[in-house]
Amino acid sequence: MVYMSWKTVVIGSECKVSLTMNRMKITIGDEYHNIPLCDLDTVIFSHDKTVITIPLLSQLIEHNINVVICDSHNDPIGVFQAFNTHSLVFKQLNKQINWKKTRKKKLWKLIVRDKIQSEMDVLQLFEIENAPIDLLKEYKNSIYNDDQTNREGASARIYFKTLFGSDFTRDDLSAVNFALNYGYKIVASYISKCVVARGLLTQLGIHHIGEANAFNLTYDFIEPIRAVVDAWAYDSITDRFSIAEKQAIIELLQAKVFVDGKWFRLNDAIEDIVDSYIAFLNEKTEEVLRIDVKKGIQLNCE
C-alpha cells in the first residue's frame, strides 16, 4: 500500500524506493510510481520489507524532507535529520546556546499558558458537559515562570479525564491512546524538521533536559499543538485505530487551523509558531503565536 496525501507519502507495502532524475521512484512488482522530490514534504516508511537506497535517502535529507521510520507495528520510532540545513548554522547555534535562562523560563510559562488555553478550547469546541473551565482558567492564570508548581501536569490530568472519560489514563492500551501517540509523533517529526531547518539543535531544550532525549526542544515546542491531535481523536476515534485512521492523522498536517486571525494549513502554522518561539528567545518579541482550537479544524482542505 502506497498512500499519498498533499505532499505526504506513506509507504506501507513491500517495495523498493530509489532515486531517479530527482524523483522518488517506488517500485512494487512490475509497477512503479515517480514522485518529484519538490512535491514532497513528508515521507513515512511503515513496512519492514521496504528497501530504501542510500542515494534516495541522501537526497530526501538534503532537500529537508521529513523522513519518518516506523517499527513493525507501524508506530513512528525515529526521523532522519540533516547535520545542517541553514546557511548560518554556527551563528544560529551560538544564539541557541546563549539563550538567557530568564527568557527560557518565561517562554515555558507562555507555552504552558497556551497549552492550558488550548485544552479549554477543545472542551468548549465539543461542548463537553460539566467541563471544569473555571478550574483550568485558574491554573492558566497562576503559572509561575518555568511552571514551578506544575500547572501543566495538573491541568492535563483533569483535561484528559473530562474529554475521554473518568476511567481514561494516558498509559492504557486504548484506540484513543494509540491515536494520540501516533498523532503526536507525526507532529513532533514536523516540528523537528522546522527546528533543524533554522540551524538549531533539537537536543537543547528550554525545559525538557533529558540526557537521553534527542528531541528536547521539539517536545518543548509541541505542547500547545497537541490539542489539535486531541480534538481529532475525540471526534474520530471510537474502538479501533487502523490504517484508515492512520491515514487520516497524516492528513491532519494539511488541515486548516486558525492562528493570529487567519486560517493556515497545520504544517504552515507550526512553522510560524516555531518562528515566534525562536523570536521570543532571541528577544525580538514579547508574545508568541498559538492555534485557536475553539475555532475548529477544517479537514480535507485542498
For the residues 96-100, what does the mean pLDDT come to?
96
Checking if the pLDDT of 188 tops 60, the result is yes
> pLDDT value at position 210?
84
> pLDDT value at position 6?
66
> pLDDT value at position 91?
87
Task: Assign 85 a pLDDT band (cuts: 50, 70, 90).
Answer: low
36-50, 129-143, 156-170: the lowest-pLDDT one: 36-50
**What are the cell numbers at 255?**
488541515
> pLDDT value at position 216?
95
Checking if the pLDDT of 127 tops 70, the result is yes
- Cβ(265)–Cβ(254) below 8 Å: yes
Q: DSSP class of residue 191? A: H
Task: Assign 197 a pLDDT band (cuts: 50, 70, 90).
Answer: confident
> Distance (Å, rounded) from C-alpha 250 to C-alpha 248?
5
- Give the side-chain half-sphere CA count within 13 A for 16: 11
Per-residue pLDDT tens over the stretch 231-272:
999 999 988 888 888 888 888 988 999 999 999 999 999 999
Of 98 and 209, more confident = 98
Task: Assign 136 a pLDDT band (cuts: 50, 70, 90).
Answer: very high
Any residues with CB less than 8 A from the CB of 55 and at least 6 apart, and which?
Answer: 18, 19
All structural domains of the chain, each given as residue ranges with its CATH number in brackets, are: 2-80 (3.100.10.20), 89-295 (1.20.120.920)
Any residues with CB less than 8 A from the CB of 202 and at least 6 apart, and which?
Answer: 81, 192, 195, 196, 214, 215, 216, 217, 218
Percentage of the chain modeled with pLDDT above 70: 95
Percentage of the chain modeled with pLDDT above 90: 69
> pLDDT value at position 138?
96
**What are the cell numbers at 145?**
515562570
| pTM for the predicted model, two decimal places | 0.87
Q: How far apart are the first and last CA of the chain?
A: 23
Tell which residue, 112, 147, 149, has the closest CA to residue 227. 112
Checking if the pLDDT of 137 tops 90, the result is yes
> pLDDT value at position 2?
67
Checking if the pLDDT of 1 tops 70, the result is no
> pLDDT value at position 142?
95
Of 157 and 64, more confident = 157
Task: Assign 80 a pLDDT band (cuts: 50, 70, 90).
Answer: confident
CB atoms within 10 A of CB 208: 18
Alpha helices in the chain (DSSP H): 54-62, 89-97, 101-125, 133-140, 151-164, 175-197, 216-221, 226-236, 243-251, 266-281
Checking if the pLDDT of 302 tops 70, the result is no
Of 301 and 188, more confident = 188
